[in-house]
Structure 1
């Protein structure tokens, strides 16, 4: 939980700089990557976080620290964002890293907007989430910080194989495992899905079935969930032959699993319990 001061600092900073960040177009890719790197550095250097959030320290001193941290090769927008954040009040020192990460995700969304791939990325994130639901061992390894970050990234690439995911999807998926930030892997992916859905003004409804949904099924699900949630929704159809039949529907963190495989597993547990 962030304190009130941190929530205000994060929101006001992002709202005020959003037009400039959006206007960077395809440069937002570079900015997002730089901000993710800075997030990782801050997470592993508490004293640096304190230096940038100390209210008794002049802003000029903080800017000097930032220049030493970022160097002269960073994008000017990256420096502007960090300078703005360093000049605000924070409830706790570590909250500034949360804000930097938020800006990093924003940058990736603006890059996706600039390249016309926002919907594609949101769908691919939902597909990744769906694919990992039944892989608890893999999920555990993806956020296991006792393993080297590069090893976790390699595992992610091995799992994804030749999916052909957009580079924004891949970068976000890598960030989730490279720097878990005390979150479980699927928790981070769901957080990203929610951010993209809000960005597009829609909710993502992921429906997993053994065979592709037809147009009439998609229309019916769209109508049902638009009425239920009282705002536009996007149906992300994921095909998984192992579910055999039925549907698994995920809305945010809520999963309704009426697949045949889920019913068989439930029956199996019931038989074991009564044996």
Structure 2
């Protein structure tokens, strides 16, 4: 978990640069890929992370390190993002890599916006998540840190190339297995789904259930939440057998969890509190 200084640095930096990323349009494909590459570089070099987050070091020195690192080949906005990040205070050195990754995903979302693919990518990520829930052996291989990253990426393509995924979905899925970042593969895909849901705001309603929703259920949910939002919404159906039953509904940052597993956990807490 990030410390308070890192949370503030990440939020303020992303809020201040979001308009520029949004205006970058299709240039975000290059920017996002560069930021993902920098995330990997930072993850594998703690000395570099420390050099870029040392509060006693002048910002100009940190920028010089960045310029040496990218060799003048990065997109100007990539360099502006990195310069902004190294100028801020971080709770831990490794938190800067998390912020760089966040920016990378943001860039990919804005690229999806620019190419009218945001909804498609969100749906494909949900479908990918659902497909992998029934493939535990495959999931284990996709986050096996003993296997070369190239082998994990190759496995992903062997499984999903016939799905003809949008290039953003494919790149995010590759990033999730290429650079594990101490996370399980499905955990990363769910994180990406949540980020797209927040990005789309009330236009996206993510519904998690133990079994697939019927067409009638989707139509009913669409009607209910479109009326609440005052605009048309899309129901993003995620299947997760571990919830046992009921529904978990996420609209932006708001979550209503009425799944069986959540109710059982609430019951356990109540019994524990009363005992």
Task: Give your verdict on TM over 0.5.
Answer: yes
Tell me how far apart the structure 1 counterparts of residues 128 and 161 of structure 2 sit (CA, whole Å): 12
Counterpart of 2:4 in structure 1 is 4
Alpha-carbon distance change, 238 to 51 in structure 1, aligned in 2, over 3 angstroms: closer
**1:151 aligned counterpart, secondary structure:** helix
Distance 2:126 2:48 in 1: 35
Hey, what does 1:78 align to over in structure 2?
Answer: 78
| In structure 1, distance between residues paired with 2:93 and 2:187 | 23
How does 1:126-275 map onto structure 2 within 5 Å? 126-201=126-201, 202-205=204-207, 213-214=214-215, 216-223=216-223, 234-236=234-236, 251=249
TM-score (norm 2): 0.82
The alignment partner of 1:236 has SS state of strand
TM-score by length of 1: 0.82
In the alignment, structure 1 segments of 5+ residues that lack a partner are 258-275
Q: Who is 1:58 aligned against?
A: 58
Partner Cα distance (2:3, 2:247) in 1: 34
Deviation at 1:130, TM superposition (A): 0.3
Alpha-carbon offset, residue 225 of structure 1:
6.6
Q: Is this contact kept in 2: 1:208–1:237, CA < 8 A?
A: no
Aligned to 1:88: 88
Deviation of 1:24 after TM superposition, in Å, equals: 0.7
Deviation of 1:161 (Å): 3.2
- Alignment check: 8 A CA contact 1:205 1:234 kept: no
Mark the runs of 5 or more structure 2 residues left unpaired by the alignment: 261-275
**Any idea what the Cα deviations from partners look like across 1:228-267, whole Å, max 9, x if unmatched?**
99x986323589xxx9xxx99664697959xxxxxxxxxx
How has the CA–CA distance of structure 1 residues 208 and 164 changed in structure 2, closer, same or farther, with 3 Å as cutoff? farther
What whole-Å deviation, never above 9, does each CA across 1:62-97 have from its counterpart, x for those lacking one? 011000111111100000000000000000000000
Q: Distance in 1 between matches of 2:139 and 2:220?
A: 33
Do the aligned partners of 1:203 and 1:233 also contact (CA within 8 Å) in 2?
yes
- Aligned 8 A contact 2:208 2:237 in 1: yes
Conserved 8 A contact 2:53-2:96: yes
Corresponding position of 1:47: 47
Query: Residue 163 of structure 2 aligns to a residue in which SS?
Result: coil
